[in-house]
């Protein structure tokens, strides 16, 4: 029915059946390429979406899904050399699960029905499990266990929330049509207490998947233990599904006339997440967990932006793009450094600029990019967020936003330069010998960095129009 979902799932099945461990990884770039090509094709020529369709490539999907697809494609290219290094592990499940994740992500992004949305997100959560314990170490299992239980609880809550929303529609006299179009149309008819209950539960539920504090606890463990690609796709793809879910639900809550409550909750939880992330960043001594905290910070930015009306949501969609691409750079280059150093902890890693100069340079550049240093993408998107905050008169929120950015910057620079500068340890030198910086492992993060640069400097008109269309979809009557 929907090629964007079917291609990857079919790919997953094929990969699962594919006999050869050495050639199997090629599925990732190939399928990724097909998916990306299709995505951008649809972006240029948007297909008609019937209002009652349960799954459709509507403006909101078009505004976010291509970014995820692009990220997945580049990560797929990276996966080939990476999995060659990791010959010792059978990658059947890994590749298949990765492709399944892509398919389910596409489903989640295109879901226009409460139930479908929930099932897709749930399925993504489960499909990601094999990716997490790919390394097959006790640490990986522990991370997976926490990811499953915390994430599962979150997902359960979001299901409860979906029920509440459904019941609010029933109670308001609806006859059980749970497409967002129908719910929005019902608008003020929805029963208020149920809508509020649903909002809280869904925000917490999908917030858990997004990784908003205080539901973020699974993130550092999962990102810290997972391979670079997995981290990139979790941080750039899965979080964005949860975010679009929150946006869709939020539009229903708006229609029910509770937009103020929604905005305030989003702002509060966003600021709290940013502050918490900044604090964690100031203290952490592990440069992969650092990325997780940075991701939490950016989820906070997204939810703050989402609370700032149409302008803010536009900026948020922009930020989804810049964040995914830049995070990709960071995760992949960090993965290289991690391989070469043999440890993610500042206690035994330093002077990597002398061991893996290229990866280190990309890592530093990516760090500056993610901390909103011009001229990379995040700079422009966060400036837009700031502008939205000031235009809508949220002066204090803007101040808090800047303060959190500042402390996050302190934390990130502290860690990154500790990793990169100084004299390398002899052990690390040896690791550098083992890990060679081939074109295959250097170009993907570099490409992502360049994409983030390009996104900021020359934001394509087509994307801007799509974001505007998505905002129009979310705010039908501004």
Partner 1 sequence: MSGGLVFAAVCLLAAMAMAQRSTRASFALTLAGTLAGLVASLTILLGPDDWEWTGAFFLGGERVHLRLDGVSAIFLVLVCVIGGAGAAYAREYWSDSENPATAARGRVWWNALILSMGLVLMISNGLHFLMAWEAFALCGYFLITLDNRRPEVRKAGWLYLASSHVGTLALFAFFVMLATHTGTWNLGPVRDVPPPLFWLALFGFGMKAGFFPFHIWLPSAHANAPSHVSAIMSGVAIKMGVYGIVRFGGWLPVPANAGHVVIGLGAASAVLGIAFAMAQNDIKRLLAYCSVENIGVILIGLGGALVARTHGNAAWGQLALAGALLHVWNHGLFKSLLFFGAGSVLHATGTREMSRLGGLWRSMPWTAGFFALGAVAVSGLPPLNGFASEWLIYLGLFEAATTRSGFAWAALPSAILLAMAGALALAAFVKAGGMIFLGTPRTKPAAHAQESRAGMLAPMALLAAACAVIGVAPGLVWPAIARAAGSWNPAWAVARTPFSTLGPAGFALAILAAVAGFWLWKKSRANGLRRDLTWDCGYRNPTSRMQYTSGSFAGISAGWFFWAFAPERKFRRPRGPFPSGSLRLERVSETVLERLIVPAGAIITRLSHAALGLQHGRLQAYILYLVAGLAALGIFVFLEGKP
Partner 2 sequence: MISTLNLLIGLAMGLNLVALGSSRLPSLIRTVSTQGIALGLMPLILEGSNLDWRIILIAGATVAGKGFVIPGLLRRAMRSANIEREIQPFIGLMPSLLLGAGGTIAAIALASALPLLPEHAGSLLVPGALASVLTGFILLIGRAKAISQVCGYLILENGIYLFGLLLIKATPLLVEAGVLLDLTVGVFVLGIIIDRIQRAFDSLDTRKLTTLHE
Task: Tell me how long the chain is.
Answer: 478
> Site for partner 1 (CB under 8 A): which residue of 26, 54, 145, 475?
145
> Taking the complex as a whole, how short is the minimal distance between the CB of residue 201 and partner 1, in angstroms?
8
194 contact choice in partner 2, partner 1, none (CB below 5 to 8 Å, kind-dependent): partner 2
Q: Which residue, chain included where needed, has tokens 């599925």?
A: 27
* Binding region for partner 1 (CB under 8 A) out of 30-38, 126-134, 254-262, 341-349: 254-262
> Taking the complex as a whole, how short is the minimal distance between the CB of residue 413 and partner 2, in angstroms?
19
Binding residues among 184-243 for partner 2 as defined by CB under 8 A: 191, 193-194, 197, 220-221, 224-225
* Binding region for partner 1 (CB under 8 A) out of 85-93, 115-123, 172-180, 281-289: 281-289
Judged by DSSP in three states, 351 sits in: coil
Nearer to partner 1, 51 or 214 (CB): 214
What is the Rg, in whole angstroms, of the alpha carbon atoms belonging to the chain?
Answer: 21
Nearer to partner 1, 3 or 156 (CB): 156
Using the rule CB under 8 A, is 129 a contact of partner 1?
no
Using the rule CB under 8 A, is 118 a contact of partner 2?
yes
* Binding region for partner 1 (CB under 8 A) out of 25-33, 320-328, 370-378, 443-451: 370-378
126 contact choice in partner 2, partner 1, none (CB below 5 to 8 Å, kind-dependent): partner 2
- Measured in whole angstroms, the distance separating CA 311 from the mean position of its chain's CA atoms is 21
> Site for partner 2 (CB under 8 A): which residue of 143, 306, 325, 352?
143
Using the rule CB under 8 A, is 422 a contact of partner 1?
yes
> Taking the complex as a whole, how short is the minimal distance between the CB of residue 309 and partner 1, in angstroms?
14
Distance CA 251, CA 259 (A): 8
Distance CA 263, CA 400 (A): 16
> Taking the complex as a whole, how short is the minimal distance between the CB of residue 100 and partner 2, in angstroms?
12
> Taking the complex as a whole, how short is the minimal distance between the CB of residue 421 and partner 2, in angstroms?
23
Using the rule CB under 8 A, is 279 a contact of partner 1?
yes
Q: Which residue, chain included where needed, has tokens 């936003």?
A: 401
265 contact choice in partner 2, partner 1, none (CB below 5 to 8 Å, kind-dependent): partner 1
Is residue 470 classed exposed, middle or buried when 0-12, 13-18 and 19+ CB atoms within 10 A define those classes?
buried
93 contact choice in partner 1, partner 2, none (CB below 5 to 8 Å, kind-dependent): none
Nearer to partner 2, 10 or 279 (CB): 279
Taking residues 147 to 186 in sequence order and writing x for each that binds partner 2 by CB under 8 A, - otherwise, the string is -xx--xx-xx--xx-xx--xx--xx---xx-x--------
> Site for partner 1 (CB under 8 A): which residue of 2, 21, 217, 443?
217
Rounded to whole angstroms, what are the CA distances from 308 to 135, 264, 344, 394, 448?
41, 9, 37, 8, 28
Using the rule CB under 8 A, is 116 a contact of partner 2?
yes
Contacts to partner 2 by CB under 8 A:
113, 115-116, 118-119, 122-123, 126, 129, 133, 138-139, 141-146, 148-149, 152-153, 155-156, 159-160, 162-163, 166-167, 170-171, 175-176, 178, 191, 193-194, 197, 220-221, 224-225, 280, 283-286, 289
Contacts to partner 1 by CB under 8 A:
145-146, 149-150, 153-154, 157, 192, 196, 199-201, 203-204, 207-208, 213-215, 217-218, 220-221, 258, 260-261, 264-265, 268-269, 276, 279-284, 368, 372-375, 379-380, 383, 386-387, 390-391, 398-399, 402, 405-407, 409-411, 413-414, 417, 421-423, 456-459
């Amino acid at each position: 029915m929907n090629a964007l979902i079917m291609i990857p799932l079919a790919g997953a099945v094929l990969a699962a059946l594919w006999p050869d461990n050495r050639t199997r990884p090629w599925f990732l770039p190939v399928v990724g390429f097909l998916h990306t090509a299709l995505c951008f094709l649809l972006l240029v020529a948007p297909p008609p979406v019937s209002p009652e369709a349960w799954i459709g490539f509507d403006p909101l999907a078009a505004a976010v899904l291509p970014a995820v697809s692009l990220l997945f494609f580049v990560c797929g290219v990276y996966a080939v050399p990476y999995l060659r290094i990791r010959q010792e592990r059978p990658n059947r499940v890994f590749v298949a699960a990765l492709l399944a994740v892509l398919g389910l992500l596409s489903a989640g992004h295109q879901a226009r029905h409460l139930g479908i949305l929930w099932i897709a997100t749930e399925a993504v959560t489960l499909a990601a499990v094999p990716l997490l314990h790919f390394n097959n170490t006790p640490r990986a299992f522990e991370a997976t266990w926490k990811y499953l239980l915390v994430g599962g609880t979150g997902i359960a809550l979001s299901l409860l929330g979906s029920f509440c929303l459904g019941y609010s529609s029933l109670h308001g006299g609806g006859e059980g049509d749970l497409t967002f179009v129908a719910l929005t149309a019902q608008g003020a008819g929805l029963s208020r207490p149920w809508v509020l209950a649903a909002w809280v539960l869904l925000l917490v539920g999908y917030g858990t998947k997004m990784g908003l504090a205080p539901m973020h606890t699974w993130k550092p463990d999962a990102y810290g233990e997972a391979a670079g690609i997995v981290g990139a796709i979790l941080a750039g793809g899965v979080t964005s599904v949860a975010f679009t879910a929150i946006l869709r639900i939020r539009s229903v809550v708006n229609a029910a006339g509770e937009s103020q409550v929604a905005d305030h909750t989003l702002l509060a939880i966003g600021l709290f997440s940013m502050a918490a992330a900044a604090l964690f960043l100031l203290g952490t001594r592990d440069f992969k967990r650092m990325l997780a905290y940075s991701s939490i910070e950016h989820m906070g930015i997204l939810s703050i932006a989402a609370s700032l009306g149409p302008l803010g949501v536009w900026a948020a969609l922009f930020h989804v793009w810049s964040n995914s691409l830049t995070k990709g750079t960071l995760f992949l280059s960090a993965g290289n450094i991690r391989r070469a150093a043999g440890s993610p902890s500042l206690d035994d890693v330093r002077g990597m600029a002398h061991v893996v100069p290229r990866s280190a340079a990309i890592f530093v550049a990516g760090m500056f990019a993610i901390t909103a240093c011009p001229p990379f993408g995040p700079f422009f998107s966060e400036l837009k967020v700031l502008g939205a905050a000031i235009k809508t008169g949220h002066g204090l929120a803007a101040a808090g936003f800047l303060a959190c950015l500042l402390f996050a910057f302190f934390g990130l620079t502290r860690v990154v330069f500790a990793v990169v500068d100084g004299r390398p340890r002899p052990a690390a030198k040896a690791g550098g010998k083992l890990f060679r910086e081939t074109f295959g492992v250097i170009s993907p993060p570099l490409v992502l960095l360049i994409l983030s640069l390009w996104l900021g400097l020359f934001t394509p008109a087509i994307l801007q129009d799509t974001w505007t269309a998505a905002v129009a979809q979310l705010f039908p009557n501004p």
